[in-house]
Amino acid sequence: MPRLYRNDETVFLYTLCEPDTEEVRYVGRSLNPNARLRSHTNDHASPCFSWIASLRSEGKRPMLRIVDEVTGDIASARELGLIVAFDSPRLLNIRDTRDKANRSLAHRAQKYAHLRSAPVQADHFLGEGI
């Protein structure tokens, strides 16, 4: 179950990247990104575990990048927006999460389409209040 945050908490949105190419492999959110990275390395259920283990066997570590700081009330939505923005076949976030993000963005685009004269695409909403 995803972690719920208080509205006033500062939540960090982060990416884990390939150390050589800087390709984004995972998008996450946490109150403490360094502790969350450690948990990814120890949790066999984490989608990052095998990838990080592979890097470690080569003497490498993933790059942790803080992408944004947001309040707890928008952390989940912003994370989903970043998953959509960084989507690639090699992104380790669960496919259901990406599908949920796409449905959420498409719903939002449809909901507010009447406010614009031109057709609205879901990707126009990335970064706008999420």
Q: What residues does each domain of the chain span?
A: 10-125
Q: What is the pTM of this model?
A: 0.71
CA–CA separation, 106 and 9 (whole Å): 28
> Which segments in the chain show pLDDT lower than 70?
1-3, 94-130
> Distance from CA of residue 41 to its chain's centroid?
18
CA–CA separation, 4 and 76 (whole Å): 8
Q: Could you tell me which of 85, 66, 64 has the C-alpha nearest to residue 10?
A: 66
Place of tokens 């928008």: 74
pLDDT reported for residue 100: 58
pLDDT reported for residue 87: 83
CA–CA separation, 117 and 48 (whole Å): 43
Write the pLDDT tens digit of every residue in 56-92: 999 999 999 999 999 998 998 899 889 988 888 899 9
pLDDT reported for residue 24: 95
